[in-house]
Amino acid sequence: MMQSTQKTSIFIPLWLLVILAAGGMAATHTSMIKDQQTVALTIYNSNLGLVKETRLVYIQQGVHTLKFMDVPGKIEPASVTLKSLIDGTSLNILEQNYEYDLVSPQKLLEKFVGQKVDLVWLNPESKKEETVEATLLSTQGGNVFQIGEKISLGHPGRIVLSKIPEGLSLQPALLWLLENKLAQPQRMEVSYLTGGLNWKADYLAILNPSDSQIDLTGWVTLENRSGATYRNALLRLVAGDVQRAREERMAYSPAPRAAAAAKEAAPPQFREESFFEYHLYTLERGTTLRDNETKQMLLFNAPQVPVNKLYILQGQPHYYWSRYDARGQKQKVGVFLELVNRQENRLGNPLPRGIVRVYKEDKEGTLQFTGEDRIDHTAKNEKIKVKVGEVFDVAAEKAQIDFKQLETRIYEITMEVTLRNQKNEEVRILVEEPVPGDWQMISNTHSYEKIQANLIRFIVPVAKGQEVKVRYKVRVRY
């Protein structure tokens, strides 16, 4: 006891010795999960969570140590705050430590370097287990033992240790040296940031037979790899790009069977509201998120959302920079679904970033996967365009017919786009061309619209079984 007291006093500053002398030596109190009264969890979609919990803890008056257990292993100690909900002036933190040197096979062995261990192995001749006493010399690059007068590099048996060494903890914990002025139990609020918490949105869209509407269901996927379990937590999700020095992304996709149940999904469980420059989604009930658990929850269900199916041939700017072979180059025509996030379409709430997976029933009524695309955070009344795939029965070719340099940095380029429709119906193809520099249209076979400063769009109807050529000449100044 005398040795322990002397060792501890080395680290206590003089001003604290005065407090201890007045109030007696500090006692150690431990707070476990059983003391927890409430817990609120705010999860960001950047591998970050904010935990706020209240606990009822009895601490004696004076200066004492509180060991705060059941915290996540990925806690950020510098983010921890502690306050009394009874009297804000009744509780002061004098020191804070975070015990994270947890028990593991490697750390156990490292603590036993230079000490005696038992090696239990199966004797191949007697077929019985035997125990050999050895000294562990090193764990670097493998275990090195001294057995008697010999050195053994590794050993076929298992290593048995006599105790858990000092300095290792079974669970992570916060350790506070507190000055407490209340005689009654303290109701304290502790908040901190932790890694290992993440969420993302996934959307399941089921197309109707005419490709004019979708049943759109939004799902929230929660992932907890923080090292702690949060029971009956008030859950909030923040959608938006929160600035962080480091970002980790989860890789999880909802089971395809969820799409089949989209039409029968329950009403939305989350309440949405604006928060700073982001959007906050609050679960209307408590939920438990266990460590190493992935959970899906319904965000919304919007049936019969109107969509437009678009066929788009997207060009490339490199055709306007230099001369290319005049022969046509095959192009892919993409098929897109476009919708507007507004209330009249049974939507209208801000949509978090996520992946939209599109399904459609075949002639036998079996749901088939048709494609997927990623959407960004989308405000209400904004358009969403989802690329589903490439059109099989529409062929396209692009050729640079002419390339002339008129003056220094002034060129004339003639382009020709050939479209062939092998479908059993007429299609409208949007030919989008990103023309660089300052440009002027000299001639064109089809009308166009200027979408952006350097983007033009031709809307080209192509009858079934027919071929259409779109030719235009632009003068470009770089």
Amino acid at the residue 351: L
Please tell me which of 15-19, 131-135, 388-392 the model is most confident about, judged by mean pLDDT: 388-392
Q: What are the distances in angstroms from CA 317 to CA 68, 314, 396, 398, 450?
A: 60, 10, 17, 13, 16
- Total number of residues shown for the chain: 478
- Report phi then psi at 475, rounded to 5: -105, 125
Report yes or no: 281 and 270 within 8 Å, Cβ to Cβ.
yes
pLDDT digits (tens, 9 = 90+) for 198-234: 999 999 999 999 999 999 999 999 999 999 999 999 9
Between residues 11 and 365, the one the model is more confident about = 365
Which of 219, 232, 201 shows the shortest CA–CA distance to 41? 232
Which range, of 54-63, 322-331, 442-451, averages the lowest pLDDT?
Answer: 322-331
Looking at 219-223, 246-250, 273-277, 469-473, which range is the least confident one?
246-250
**What tokens were used for 284?**
């209307």
Structure confidence at residue 16 (pLDDT): 43
pTM above 0.75, yes or no: no
With 80 as the cut, is the pLDDT of residue 151 above it? yes
* Cα–Cα dist 476/478, whole Å: 7
* Max CA distance (Å), the chain: 98
CA atoms of 226 and 222, how far apart (whole Å):
12
Cβ-Cβ contacts under 8 Å for 124 (sequence gap 6 or more): none
pLDDT of residue 261: 44
Report which of 387, 372, 376 is spatially closest to residue 350, judged by C-alpha positions: 376
pLDDT in tens, 89-109: 999 989 988 776 555 677 777
- What pLDDT is stored for residue 305 in this prediction? 95
Sequence-separated contacts (24+) of 154-160 with Cβ below 8 Å: 155/119, 155/121, 156/121, 156/122, 157/119, 157/120, 157/121, 157/122, 157/132, 158/119, 158/120, 158/121, 159/109, 159/117, 159/118, 159/119, 160/117, 160/118, 160/119, 160/120, 160/131
Winning range, highest mean pLDDT, from 101-105, 295-299, 346-350, 467-471: 467-471
- pLDDT-derived band at 53 (thresholds 50, 70, 90) equals very high
258 phi, psi to nearest 5 deg: -65, -30
Predicted confidence (pLDDT) per residue in 383-395, tens digit = 999 999 999 999 9
In 230-361, beta strands by DSSP E? 230-239, 270-275, 278-289, 293-306, 308-314, 329-331, 334-340, 354-361
Strand intervals (E) in 341-447: 354-361, 367-375, 383-390, 394-407, 410-421, 427-433, 438-444
Position 21 scores a pLDDT of: 42
Residues 233-271 pLDDT 10s: 999 998 876 665 554 455 444 444 444 444 544 456 777
139 band by pLDDT with thresholds 50, 70 and 90: confident
Q: What one-character-per-residue DSSP string does 165-221 give?
A: PTT-BSS-EEEEEEEE--SSPEEEEEEEEEESEEEEEEEEEEE-TTSSEEEEEEEEE
Surface-to-core class of residue 188, CB atoms within 10 Å of its CB (0-12 exposed, 13-18 middle, 19+ buried):
buried
